[in-house]
Amino acid sequence: MNYFDVISVGELLIDLISQEPGKSLTDTKNFRKFAGGAPANVAVGMAKLGLNVAFAGKVGRDPFGKYLRNYLNENSVNTDLLQDDPFHKTRLAFVSIDRDGDRSFEFWEKSPADSALSLHDFSIDELNRANIVHFGSLPLCTPDSREVFLQLINSLELPNTLLSFDPNYRESLWNSKEDAYSVLKTVASNVQILKMSLEEALLLSGENSLSKAVPKLFFNKTKILAITLEKNGCFLKNQHAAVEVPAYKVEVKDSTGCGDAFLAGLLTGIIQSDKIPEDLNEEELHDIGQFANGAGAITVTRYGATDALPTKSELVEFIKSVKHF
């Protein structure tokens, strides 16, 4: 029996989010501290939705790292697999928000703790006992931690453990688009659950439309492909069915963590379906997409990433009461 529903692996960082929407980072004077990092956001989102979740990664042995560990614990995410690094600082991300709720990032720390990884930082046996191991992407930006992630992925591909990945592309962290394309596509082709934005789907496929991109992104090992379409909802596909699920109509305040909330809903829906992903029919895929869309929609109506993530009761009530576009 697997001990954790999901173990989320990768970056855990501090988001310093502007409290002055519409201003650039140059002009912003007021920031608020939030826990962040895509795989950490996903972990908290799943814990809030009722899953048994752990986080594996590394933070600095500094006040920010201590804050993040405490935050995960307070949100019911197990941190036994989270390492403290005495030599590297916790990553910081300064975030500005425009008047439409869209974000711009400026990352601090040239060599943050979350990218100073080695295989010794992970328990392969523990990871193999999870139903799903979800990987973030920021450690892939540096060669050493990239190699660690690729070795982990090759070690964990077992029939009873599904691998999940979100490219979460941040152009400023990569040497070039070509470098990002090569690395992200390599990882994407070796996991069973692949979630990305439409922008990332077009980047990794080299195509200019969803219909052309999908065949190039449904790899031999893919069991579920999920592509978020912003105000148009999402697209989900397995080996037997494909659905587009419309979005919910909400007022956008802050899109930070929206994709992570969607992914938390997606993975929760997959686990709670009690079916292997390739056996889900069109109706079941649609229900999972609706659940994931709802998690994202609630999150954009609130500020912050993990603070904005909904509980299961909030999400169920929201789906019952709110209209789609």
> What is the tens place of the pLDDT at every residue in 151-196?
999 888 677 899 999 999 988 889 999 999 999 999 999 999 999 9
Residue 257 pLDDT greater than 90, yes or no: no
Q: What is the dihedral of CA 71, 42, 309, 94, to 10 degrees?
A: 70
CB 187 within 8 A of CB 150: yes
What is the Cα Rg of the chain in Å? 18
Q: Which two tokens stand for residue 20?
A: 């002055």
Residue 1 pLDDT greater than 60, yes or no: no
Partner residues linked to 57 by β-bridges: 10, 82
CATH tag, 6-321: 3.40.1190.20
- Model confidence band, residue 306 (pLDDT cutoffs 50, 70, 90): confident
Convert the pLDDT of each residue in 103-135 to its tens digit.
788 888 888 999 999 999 999 999 999 999 999
Residue 289 pLDDT greater than 60, yes or no: yes
Q: Which two tokens stand for residue 249?
A: 């109509």
Cα(263)–Cα(260) distance, rounded to whole angstroms?
5
Phi, psi of 165 (to 5 degrees): -150, 140
Neighbours of 285 (CB within 10 A): 25
- Model confidence band, residue 323 (pLDDT cutoffs 50, 70, 90): low
Cα(259)–Cα(254) distance, rounded to whole angstroms?
12
Extents of the domains making up the chain? 6-321
- Model confidence band, residue 322 (pLDDT cutoffs 50, 70, 90): confident
Convert the pLDDT of each residue in 62-109 to its tens digit.
999 999 999 999 999 999 999 999 999 999 999 898 877 777 888 888
Give residue 99's pLDDT. Answer: 79
> What is the value of pTM for the model shown?
0.93
Residue 285: DSSP 8-state:
H
